Amino acid sequence: MSDCIFCRIVSGALQAHLVYESPSAVAFLDRFPAAPGHTLVVPRIHAETLNDLPDDAIGDFFREVKVVTRKVTGALHPVAFNIGWNHGADAGQRVFHLHVHVLPRYSPGGRGVQAMGSGGDLGELSEIAAAIRSA
């Protein structure tokens, strides 16, 4: 898609600091890093979200996320990572080409994604689980 900035990075039309390329994925430094070495891993094919990535592409793609994580570890020696992605505008997704944030952490005591929860009354677990199972 010519109007997708990550498709343009994948094709070479837009400059980025590439750190890894494979037949299925491209990885480059986030232009607005949250930590040194903050890297984005994107599938070569355009998929807005994980739901849009074909099932037969998912394994290869996530294997490359692992490769990139190991490369960042080898280069920068973080103590841990937050690895994940924003799925949908209301979760903070701003670029609608699936990308996994590989975000190195350099100090202990980090809070996980659970810290994004709102707390309070979060519903009855058994009812919620049943609804998800039957969906």
Residues that bind ligand DGP (CB under 6 A): 5, 16, 28-32, 40, 86, 92-95
* Shortest distance, position 88 Cβ to ligand DGP, whole Å: 10
Which lies closer to ligand DGP via its Cβ, residue 95 or residue 130? 95
* Shortest distance, position 93 Cβ to ligand DGP, whole Å: 4
User: Of the listed 17, 38, 46, 99, which one is catalytic?
Assistant: 99
Which lies closer to ligand DGP via its Cβ, residue 78 or residue 101? 101
3-state secondary structure the chain: CCCCHHHHHHHCCCCCCEEEECCCEEEEECCCCCCCCCEEEEECCCCCCHHHCCHHHHHHHHHHHHHHHHHHHHHHCCCEEEEECCCCHHHCCCCCCCCEEEEEECCCCCCCHHHHCCCCCCCCHHHHHHHHHHC
Which residue has its beta carbon closest to ligand DGP?
31
Which lies closer to ligand DGP via its Cβ, residue 16 or residue 41? 16
Residue 77 catalytic? no
Give the residue numbers marked as catalytic.
99
